[in-house]
Homo-oligomer: A and B are copies of this chain.
Amino acid sequence: MSNSTRCAGCKLLRRRCPEDCILSPYFPKNNPQRFLSVHKIFGACNITRMLKSLPVDQRAIAADCMSYEAERRVEDPVYGCVKIIYGLQKKKNEIELELAKARSEIVFHSAVDTQQQQQQQVSWSITNATQQSDQV
């Protein structure tokens, strides 16, 4: 490929972009930042090796996931995407707690409902008994 049509990977690595370039389908020239991030975090050799080790139909997903991980690590060099995991776990725990509270509230309401139904039953029985005794 000519210099103007090189993929983002080959352009950054300043090399010729072959027709069967392993990076080209996943790191197009119109998104140089995407390759820059994965190159900075994983290194071009590791990216190439990891992509080559996978079946062709799984490479796009792997490139997307590696780009996501790399971008998170560029943003946060200490926690990287582990920060996202911590955040989701924290949120999940909070919602689980809310759910547990809501469920115990439902149990309480059910108990109150049952009690009220029983009281109503008793009350109706008294009313009926009173009305029947009136008629006698």
**Stretch binding the partner chain, chosen from A5-13, A19-27, A28-36, A101-109:** A101-109
How near does chain B come to A136, taking the closest CB pair, in angstroms? 13
Q: Are B65 and A78 in contact (CB under 8 A)?
A: yes
The tally of residues in A whose CB lies under 8 Å from a CB in B reads 52
Can you add 7 more A-B contacts, CB < 8 Å, to A50-B73, A113-B113, A116-B120?
A43-B45, A61-B78, A69-B81, A95-B99, A102-B106, A127-B127, A130-B131
* The 3 residue pairs across chains A and B that have the minimum distance between CB atoms: A109-B109, A102-B102, A88-B88
- A interface residues with partner B (beta carbon < 8 Å): 40-43, 45-46, 50, 53-54, 58, 61-62, 65-66, 68-69, 73, 77-82, 84-85, 88-89, 91-92, 95-96, 98-99, 102-103, 105-106, 109-110, 112-113, 116-117, 119-120, 123-124, 126-127, 130-131, 134
Can you name 7 A-B residue pairings with CB atoms under 8 Å?
A41-B42, A69-B73, A95-B99, A109-B112, A120-B123, A130-B131, A130-B134
